[in-house]
């Protein structure tokens, strides 16, 4: 079930504890900074759906089972693991353990503050013995000190003198729920940490562990400050898998005991035990030196700066406003301090997809960072660059040239055990190249281009040239691949893949011309450069002349249609109820594929083609993937289907707050949240990048009164305000900027804002969706259009 959460513009609040929704709220209330993530478990640790403390890219290797061995299949996988838990703070009130399942819970509230970057909790509890206490806690994971988290925990006696015991702990190898049905996988991940060292001192302790298979080393440390009565007794113990600091005191009615707990985490695959131990002790000392109040102040200043350049304001839909900011906050948490590490599909909020990174990062998340926090985009692409050797090895194993990046991974090696939906989805390579060009268009970062961009573009271009071939008619074909739609596999000439490959080949040729010295180092010769240009000019883009639409892949529109009329709601998602061979041979789409091509490669389609394609593919797209709705929102808005775009916007924005797919307990959907930004900025804002220039074609849905958003572009800050009949553009800082509004070019300076009328919408055929798969209407009243 989904948690009932009140609507607030800057907070996500839970006013009553719902144990049935505990998995969902643990994900929603997770705190992270891109390096460290703490799932939103209760302070005392129990009850829980899934404990979770994560470090970006800290994983354990495990066997990757296959029904039958085959050449090219990866034999081992990587799974993010629950690291040493420092969140645990247990409480006893006159010998009664504080457990919300016992006694009487008079009040239980939690609040995720999107401006403060904190999770706060207030509980009024009466023990089974009748003793009452008020418990308040505030938790943060620091954006400014990336190794650090901190918790303020206080207990107040209510009506009578109360003996209080607080146990603050570090715990490794917590028992976890079974991981999938395969016992071999669960066995590999059971107690994955081996103790190496433990230390204790007057107010804190540290534990150092190493993983059994991947041999990654982890250090976690805690320290405390105490505020309360003078007679607080303190006792410390440290064992290989648990360190505990115990505080005991007597509280008079109205008196409070407060513990400030500082946590520091670090990991490495190369550093020694001593070096890693010293690293976390230094981080802990820095946190103590900063102090709780200043840590909170730093957090607020960091978020003030972020929201100043990233906030989106919506007038007319308070729930959507809350969801948009919640989504941006989680996107920030996923990548703000990742610093040359990946952004996983679930960020650091849960173990969904085993903590793997996919193409989601480059196509859905990085566009947000390009215009709000561009350094984070560069960091993700630098991580991809750091895995080039593994990608080259993978290409060689597949008999290809260049680099073949993995479909899903943590450390750079392929972790997908299913060829059609994994390795065959070669478009990941063009997605990475696309992200490189988009980052450069948004920033003009020449140093990044030289250090990272050229090599990524060259090696991915080499892959495409070796993967494709020229047919007898001179067309460059790319056969036997899987596009974004995973209900269509091993097909020939997937339009999305071919268009993105063409973009990749052209971008690589342009990069070589920009930096011939780098190209020479990479041994790019004139013949190879000419080959890329020839292939790009000849890429085959299928088109159905009879229907006047682009088939998703060659021959797609000739396939048998799926029987939607006899597919009941209990049959979705289809992949869990039908064999893949049936999905692969019929016209049914899991997620936007051809439609995504119309967004990212807009210039490859005429306006009429976009309109016809969209109507055709709407009727067979079932959105069994959370990635689909955002793309459909963008193109629906571009084509003037504003009510439909608004409905799709609501679906992608509320995917976790309303647990749309029933799996938020496994972690939030980072790409879908990033897609909310795209649905608003690229959809209703109509923003497209054409080289360094920005184009806008804004539209306003009937049920909203105003949309405004801020962007960063080439060291400038830009504000766009959309009203029903006009849009206003303001340059908040930076040098003059040339923009386009519905095709009309104008120059913007900081001297004054410029307002343009929004032209009327062209009437078009209204698209329909498969029976029962229509997006839920945000409003039931008729549109003014």
Q: Active-site residue numbers?
A: 486
Distance of alpha carbon 460 from alpha carbon 402, whole angstroms: 6
Helix, strand, coil % in the chain, rounded to nearest 5: 35, 25, 40
Q: What is the CA radius of gyration of the chain?
A: 27
Are 248 and 163 in contact by the 8 Å Cβ rule? The answer is: yes
- Helix, strand, or coil (residue 351): coil
Query: Residue 15, Cβ neighbours under 10 Å: how many?
Result: 12
Are 557 and 594 in contact by the 8 Å Cβ rule? The answer is: no
What angle separates helix 292-310 from helix 318-335, to the nearest 10 degrees? Answer: 110
Terminal alpha carbon distance of the chain = 36
Two tokens at 176? 């976890």
State how far the alpha carbon of 372 is from the alpha carbons of 328, 342, 439, in Å.
Answer: 10, 18, 12
Strand (E) or helix (H) holding 113 = strand 104-113
Strand (E) or helix (H) holding 364 = none
Distance of alpha carbon 182 from alpha carbon 185, whole angstroms: 6
- The residues pairing with 726 across neighbouring beta strands, listed in sequence order, are 757
According to DSSP H, which parts of 468-606 are helical? 495-514, 516-521, 526-538, 580-584, 594-600
Q: Residue 108's Cα: distance from chain center in Å?
A: 29
Two tokens at 661? 């797919």
Query: Residue 755, Cβ neighbours under 10 Å: how many?
Result: 13
Q: Look at phi and psi of residue 415 and say left if phi exceeds 0, alpha if psi is from -120 to 50, else beta.
A: alpha
Strand (E) or helix (H) holding 288 = helix 273-290
Are 310 and 373 in contact by the 8 Å Cβ rule? The answer is: yes
Distance of alpha carbon 440 from alpha carbon 691, whole angstroms: 9
Distance of alpha carbon 161 from alpha carbon 158, whole angstroms: 8
Two tokens at 595? 């439609």
Strand (E) or helix (H) holding 608 = helix 607-618
Q: Is 496 exposed, middle or buried (0-12, 13-18, 19+ CB in 10 A)?
A: buried
Are 465 and 401 in contact by the 8 Å Cβ rule? The answer is: yes
């Amino acid at each position: 079930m989904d948690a009932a959460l009140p609507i607030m513009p800057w907070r996500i609040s839970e006013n009553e504890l719902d144990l049935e929704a505990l998995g969902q709220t643990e994900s929603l209330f997770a705190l992270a900074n891109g390096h460290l993530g703490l799932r939103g478990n209760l302070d005392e640790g129990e009850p829980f759906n899934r404990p979770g403390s994560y470090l970006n890219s800290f994983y354990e290797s495990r066997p990757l089972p296959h029904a039958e061995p085959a050449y090219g299949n990866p034999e081992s996988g990587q799974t993010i693991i629950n690291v040493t838990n420092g969140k645990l703070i247990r409480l006893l009130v006159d010998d009664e353990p504080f457990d919300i399942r016992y006694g009487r819970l008079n009040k239980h509230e939690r609040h995720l503050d999107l401006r403060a970057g904190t999770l706060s909790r207030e509980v009024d509890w009466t023990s089974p013995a009748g003793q009452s206490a008020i418990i308040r806690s505030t938790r943060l994971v620091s954006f400014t000190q990336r190794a650090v988290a901190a918790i303020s925990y206080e207990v107040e006696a209510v009506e009578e003198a109360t003996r209080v015991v607080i146990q603050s702990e570090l715990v490794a190898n917590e028992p976890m729920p079974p991981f999938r049905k395969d016992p071999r996988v669960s066995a590999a991940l059971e107690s994955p940490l081996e103790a190496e060292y433990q230390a204790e001192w007057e107010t804190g302790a540290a534990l150092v562990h190493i993983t059994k298979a991947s041999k990654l080393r982890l250090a976690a440390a805690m320290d405390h400050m105490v505020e309360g009565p003078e007679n607080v007794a303190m006792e410390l113990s440290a064992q290989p898998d648990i360190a505990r600091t115990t505080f005991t005191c007597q509280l008079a009615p109205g008196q409070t005991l407060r513990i400030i707990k500082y946590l520091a985490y670090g990991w490495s695959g190369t550093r020694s035990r001593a070096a890693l131990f010293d690293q976390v002790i230094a981080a802990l000392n820095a946190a103590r030196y900063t102090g709780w109040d200043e840590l909170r102040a730093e957090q607020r200043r960091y978020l003030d700066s972020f929201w100043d350049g990233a906030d989106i304001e919506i007038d007319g839909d308070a729930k959507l406003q809350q969801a948009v900011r919640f989504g941006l906050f989680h996107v920030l948490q996923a990548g703000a301090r990742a610093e040359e590490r990946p952004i996983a599909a679930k960020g650091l909020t849960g173990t969904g997809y085993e903590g793997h990174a996919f193409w989601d990062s480059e196509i859905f998340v990085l566009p947000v960072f390009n215009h709000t926090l561009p350094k984070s985009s560069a960091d993700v692409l630098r991580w991809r660059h750091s895995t080039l050797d593994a990608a080259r090895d993978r290409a060689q194993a597949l008999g290809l040239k260049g680099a073949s990046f993995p479909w899903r991974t943590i450390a750079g090696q392929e972790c997908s055990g299913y060829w059609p939906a994994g390795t065959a989805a070669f478009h990941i390579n063009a997605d990475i190249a696309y992200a490189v060009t988009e980052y450069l268009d948004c920033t003009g970062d020449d140093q990044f281009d030289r250090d990272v961009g050229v090599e990524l573009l060259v090696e991915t271009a080499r892959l495409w040239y070796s993967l494709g071939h020229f047919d007898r008619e001179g067309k460059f074909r790319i056969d036997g691949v899987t596009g974004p739609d995973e209900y269509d596999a091993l097909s020939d000439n997937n339009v999305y893949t071919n268009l993105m490959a063409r973009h990749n080949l052209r971008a690589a040729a342009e990069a070589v011309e920009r930096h011939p010295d780098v190209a020479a180092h990479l041994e790019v010769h004139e013949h190879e450069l000419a080959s890329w240009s020839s292939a790009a000019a000849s890429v085959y883009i299928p088109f159905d002349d009879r229907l006047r639409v682009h088939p998703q892949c060659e021959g797609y529109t000739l396939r048998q249609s799926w029987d939607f009329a006899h597919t009941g709601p209990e049959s979705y998602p289809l992949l869990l109820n039908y064999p893949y061979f049936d999905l692969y041979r019929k016209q049914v789409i899991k997620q936007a594929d051809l439609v995504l091509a119309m967004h990212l490669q807009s210039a490859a389609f005429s306006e009429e083609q976009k309109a016809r394609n969209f109507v055709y593919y709407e009727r067979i797209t079932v959105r069994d993937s959370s990635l689909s709705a955002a793309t459909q929102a963008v193109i629906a808005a571009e084509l003037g289907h504003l009510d439909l775009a608004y409905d799709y916007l609501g679906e992608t924005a509320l995917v976790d707050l309303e647990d749309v797919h029933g799996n938020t307990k496994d972690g939030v959907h980072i790409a879908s949240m990033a897609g909310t930004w795209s649905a608003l900025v690229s959809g209703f804002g109509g923003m497209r990048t054409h080289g360094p220039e920005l184009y806008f074609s804004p539209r306003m849905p009937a049920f909203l009164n105003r949309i405004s958003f801020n962007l960063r572009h080439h060291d400038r800050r830009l504000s766009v305000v959309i009203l029903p009949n006009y849009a206003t553009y303001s340059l908040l800082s930076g040098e003059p900027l040339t923009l386009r509004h519905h095709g009309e070019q104008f120059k913007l300076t900081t001297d004054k804002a410029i307002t343009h009328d929004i032209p009327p919408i062209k009437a078009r055929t209204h698209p329909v969706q498969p029976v029962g798969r229509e997006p839920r209407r945000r409003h039931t009243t008729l549109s003014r259009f």
